[in-house]
Amino acid sequence: MKFKPFELERWFVILKQLLDLTGNTFDHIDVMLGYGWSNGLPKLRELIAEEYEDLDANHIVVTNGAIEANFIISSTLLEPNSEVVTFFPTYAQLWQVGENLGARVKKLRLLMDNKYKPNIDQLADMINENTDLLILNFPSNPAGAVIERKDLEEICELAEHYNIPILSDEIYRGLEYKATDRAPAAADLYENAISVSGLSKVYGLPGLRIGWLACKNKELLDRIWSFRDFTSICNGVLNEKVAEIALKSRELLRERGRKIAVKNFEILKQWVDDHSDVISWVPPKAAVLTMLMYHFDMDSETFCRGLVEEKSVFTAPGSCFETEKQFRVGFGYDTERLKEGLKRLGEYIASLKER
C-alpha cells in the first residue's frame, strides 16, 4: 500500500490514517462477527470511563452513535404528558423524540444578544417537581457556545433539588478552541445527569457509529440501557475494536480535531470580518457550527433556499431555530471546501445587494 501523509485538513479520519497515526495495524482479522456485548465491549467501556473524573466502566453503556443514546433516554423517561425543559435552540432530535411521544416541551431560549449564556433565574422559574427531564447541549449546536462551570453547577443543583434527570449532550465537548473553556461533564457533577457523547465529532469518526451514555446512577443507567433491547441489541464488533484503537490515542486525535476546528474558525472569522457591513455574530468558542446574522430584509428560508439553488451551498435557516435574519453554518469541512463555500456565500450576498 502506498504511504499517504496524514492530512490534517481532512475532517473525517481514514482508517489507514488512524492506524498510521496511532502506530497500529489492522490486526482484528480474527474477530468473530457474533453478537457484541449489549452494554459495549468491556475494554472500550473502561477507555470511555477515562473521559470522566468519577466514573468507571460500569457507568458506561456504548450505543450506536450518540443519537441512539439520546433516543433511548427520552424513550425510557418520557411518555404522553411528560414535561421536558430544554435549552433552545439545540439539536432538534434531543427534544423532538419526547415531543413525538406526546410530552410537553418547554423551551428556554439561549439568545445571541445575551451571548447564549443560560439564564438560570428563568430556568428556576420553568422547572418544578413535575419536570421529567432537563435537556442541555454544551458546547452548543447551533451556536458553538460553551457553558461556564459555575452555570453548569447551578443548573445541576436546581435539577437535584427537584430530582430531575438531565440529558446532557456533550458530543462537542473536547473541541473547545481553548482548554480553559472546557466545562466539566454533567455526569461528574450530578448523579442523575446522563452525559452523552461519542466518536463522531471530536474524533472525526462518525462511520464507526460509536456513542455512549455515562451516568453515576447505575439504576437509572440500567433502566435506559434496557430500552436498547428494542432498538439495536448491541454495537458492531469491528466498530468497537477500531474505537478501542482510537481512544487509546485520544490526545492525538483530539488535538487533530481541535487544530482543524481552530484553523477553520480563523478562516470563517476572517470572512465575517470582511463582511461586517452585512454580517454579525457571537464568535463560537468550540465545535464547528455557528449562527450568522445578516443585516438586510429577507426571511431566512428565502435566503437559505436561494443560497442552495444558486450556489449549491447548504446552510440551515433561522426559522428552524424559531429565529429570523439568521442562518446556521457548519465549518467542519476540509479547509479548501470551506474556503470555496465561503467564497460562494460572499458572491451570493453581493448579488442580493444588487437586486
Contact pick of 107, 117, 206, 301 for a copy of itself (by CB under 8 A)? 206
Residue nearer to a copy of itself on the CB measure, 32 or 179: 32
- Which grid cell is 177? 478552541
Q: For a copy of itself, which stretch binds (CB under 8 A), given 103-111, 156-164, 207-215, 269-277? A: 207-215
CB of 96 to a copy of itself, least distance (A): 7
Instruction: Classify burial at 311, counting beta carbons within 10 Å of its beta carbon; exposed 0-12, middle 13-18, buried 19 or more.
Output: middle
CA 11 to the chain's CA centroid? 15
- Quote the CA–CA distance of 320 and 343 in Å, as a whole number: 24
CB of 178 to a copy of itself, least distance (A): 27
CB of 65 to a copy of itself, least distance (A): 6
CB of 195 to a copy of itself, least distance (A): 20
Q: Strand 326-330 vs strand 289-294: parallel, antiparallel, or unpaired?
A: antiparallel
135 touching a copy of itself, by CB under 8 A: no
The contact mask relative to a copy of itself for 62-101 (x = CB under 8 A, - = no) is --xx-xx--x--------x------------x--xx--x-
Give, for 44, the enclosing helix (H) or strand (E).
helix 42-49
Contact pick of 209, 216, 256, 328 for a copy of itself (by CB under 8 A)? 209
Residue nearer to a copy of itself on the CB measure, 68 or 244: 68
Contact pick of 145, 155, 158, 234 for a copy of itself (by CB under 8 A)? 234
Contact pick of 58, 119, 217, 232 for a copy of itself (by CB under 8 A)? 232
3-state secondary structure 220-242: HHHHHHHCHHHHCCCCCHHHHHH
Contact pick of 89, 174, 198, 204 for a copy of itself (by CB under 8 A)? 204
Q: Give SS3 for 193.
A: strand
Residue nearer to a copy of itself on the CB measure, 22 or 119: 22
208 touching a copy of itself, by CB under 8 A: yes
DSSP structural state of residue 176: B
Q: For a copy of itself, which stretch binds (CB under 8 A), given 14-22, 144-152, 269-277, 307-315? A: 14-22
- Which grid cell is 102? 406526546
Site for a copy of itself in 17-36 (CB under 8 A): 18-19, 26, 28-36
The contact mask relative to a copy of itself for 302-341 (x = CB under 8 A, - = no) is ----------------------------------------
Q: For a copy of itself, which stretch binds (CB under 8 A), given 4-12, 126-134, 186-194, 284-292? A: 4-12
Residue nearer to a copy of itself on the CB measure, 38 or 119: 38
DSSP structural state of residue 113: G
**Single-letter residue type at 207:** G
- Quote the CA–CA distance of 83 and 62 in Å, as a whole number: 27
Spatial CA neighbour of 52 closest among 226, 184, 163: 184
Phi/psi at 208 (5° precision): -85, -15
The contact mask relative to a copy of itself for 97-126 (x = CB under 8 A, - = no) is x--x-x------------------------
Give, for 265, the enclosing helix (H) or strand (E).
helix 250-274
Residue nearer to a copy of itself on the CB measure, 213 or 282: 213
15 touching a copy of itself, by CB under 8 A: yes
**What strand order describes the sheet that includes 289-294?**
279-280, 289-294, 326-330, 316-317
- Quote the CA–CA distance of 251 and 269 in Å, as a whole number: 26
Facing residues of 167 across strands?
135, 194
DSSP structural state of residue 318: G
Q: Taking a C-beta distance cutoff of 8 angstroms, is the pair 86, 105 a contact?
A: yes
Please report, as ranges, the residues that interact with a copy of itself according to CB under 8 A.
1, 10-16, 18-19, 26, 28-36, 64-65, 67-68, 71, 80, 93, 96-97, 100, 102, 200, 204-209, 229-239, 242
